[in-house]
A and B are shown apart, each in its own frame.
Chain A
Amino acid sequence: GAGVSQSPSNKVTEKGKDVELRCDPISGHTALYWYRQSLGQGLEFLIYFQGNSAPDKSGLPSDRFSAERTGGSVSTLTIQRTQQEDSAVYLCASSVADYTDTQYFGPGTRLTVL
């Protein structure tokens, strides 16, 4: 398929471990977004990429969270020293150019921190 894909679909980890979440956007989409979906909290914006650069990192909740994007395509969200409050569904989306375009979402990665 040509949609946004994310891996893994589920991740269970122990408190204090690092995790990496991957997003493959739609081919040719310049903009890429990460969101966090917590129970009863809706979608929380984390970071926005335009190509390989991140002009908006304002949503990253702490310095334990980081993200990178290489080759203008795949992105990795890394959470270091995970805490139980990091448990959530992490959603990735992409759009053709920027915020003005329709965003297409992946199925998400459900992260559980024990």
Chain B
Amino acid sequence: GNSVTQMEGPVTLSEEAFLTINCTYTATGYPSLFWYVQYPGEGLQLLLKATKADDKGSNKGFEATYRKETTSFHLEKGSVQVSDSAVYFCALRGMNRDDKIIFGKGTRLHILP
């Protein structure tokens, strides 16, 4: 079945550092891929998404590229801020209309000032 694997946290970085959170997936065909973010005390929010191979999703300075050849969708940001501290979830949804979104276990990110 479909699955998502993302790097375990917590990840601790200094402000302005470069961020990568790895995500790989297993699925048949061409699933849609997502990154969700959960700020402290809040629900999940969709951060970005990509629906076909080589698409790049971007939002708030974050980017992720849909790599079919490596089945990956790594999240990157060039210069993180303290306000980026949150839990980040990689997710996928299969191609069938009835396919549910499957979430990774989440990666907690701490940014130090």
Contact = CB atoms under 8 A, between A and B. Distances in A.
Contacts of B102: 45
A105 B47 CA distance: 12
Given A42-B103, A43-B103, A99 B93 contact: yes
Taking residues whose C-beta sits less than 8 angstroms from the other chain, chain B's interface range is 10 to 19
Contact of B101 (A40, A99, A108): A99
B46 A40 contact: no
B100 A42 contact: no
A67 B38 CA distance: 25
A74 interface: no
B98 A106 contact: no
B105 A48 contact: no
A41 B103 CA distance: 10
B21 to A, nearest CB: 14
Interface of B: 41-46, 89, 93, 97-106
Given A42-B104, A45-B100, A99-B101, 13 more contacts: A45-B101, A48-B100, A56-B100, A93-B44, A99-B100, A100-B93, A100-B97, A103-B46, A103-B101, A104-B43, A106-B43, A107-B41, A107-B43
| 8 smallest beta-carbon distances between A and B, as pairs | A105-B43, A42-B105, A43-B103, A105-B44, A107-B43, A106-B43, A42-B103, A42-B106
